[in-house]
Amino acid sequence: MPLILIPAVITLVVTLLRLVGELLNWSPALFSRAPGGGFSLVGISWLIPVFGVYFALKLNARGEGPVSGWKAAGWALVGLVVMIAVVAVGATMKWPRVALLIASSISAWVAIAIAFRGWPALARTLLSYGFAARIPVAIVMLVAIYARWGTHYDAFPPNMPEVDAMAPFVKWFSFGLVPQMTGWMCMTVVFGMLVGGVAAALVGRRPASA
């Protein structure tokens, strides 16, 4: 908890700043309201590699580094490839949207489990940080969908007309809560492990302190 506290607070501040910027129609380059976020410069996804390296160096400095940083990064890469492969197969075979959602959600947590093998201490830290980062986003999405704020938190691609017919709670659960707790958790842990493992490999493992 002490290790993730400041990063979690910073992430919450960025989430709230992003929301305010979209509600007040600030610069689209910084606060895009497009579905998926439109690669806005203000967003918490950019914090994943930053805190991945931060957590890795902190853990390594107090003697909780991996046996091999390259091995930790390698396991994270394997997990990422597995998740991408499952989604690619589903899209290629044109699985029903519900089936693809279920498969991608399961593969996301399989990828996290694979990444754990490389450096459990960092994986646990990133997992805790992921929940701290993504639960507030899921809550914001719930309110945004019911209130119809017109932000990226309640925007969906135009080629999904069936979404408009969904009840707000079903829409939030399917396209808000589930992705935040699966795909985005996977990106937080797996990509954070990838960059964190590389950082640990470059600095070298530190011995455990007394």
Which tokens in the block code for residue 161?
């007309």
- pLDDT value of residue 137: 96
Residue 202 contacts residue 124 (beta carbons within 8 Å): no
- pLDDT value of residue 24: 95
pLDDT, tens digit (0-9, with 9 covering 90-100), for 104-149: 999 999 999 999 999 999 999 999 999 999 999 999 999 999 999 9
Residue 164 contacts residue 175 (beta carbons within 8 Å): no
Which tokens in the block code for residue 186?
């996977």
Measure Cα distances from 182 to 25, 72, 75, 178 in Å. 30, 21, 18, 6
* pTM for the predicted model, two decimal places: 0.90
pLDDT band at 156 (very low <50, low <70, confident <90, very high): confident
Residue 22 contacts residue 33 (beta carbons within 8 Å): yes
- pLDDT value of residue 16: 96
Mean pLDDT over residues 148-175, rounded?
A: 85
Mean pLDDT over residues 3-11, rounded?
A: 95
Q: What is the 3-state secondary structure (H, E, C) of 150-169?
A: CCHHHCCCCCCHHHHHCCHH
pLDDT of residue 209 exceeding 50, the answer is: no
Among candidates 210, 199, 208, which has minimal Cα distance to 57? Answer: 199
Cα angle: 63, vertex 64, 69; to 5 degrees: 105
Mean pLDDT over residues 54-72, rounded?
A: 92
- pLDDT value of residue 161: 64
- What ranges in the chain are assigned the alpha helix state H? 2-23, 47-61, 69-92, 97-116, 120-147, 168-172, 178-181, 183-186, 192-203
Share of the chain above pLDDT 70, in %: 96
pLDDT band at 1 (very low <50, low <70, confident <90, very high): confident
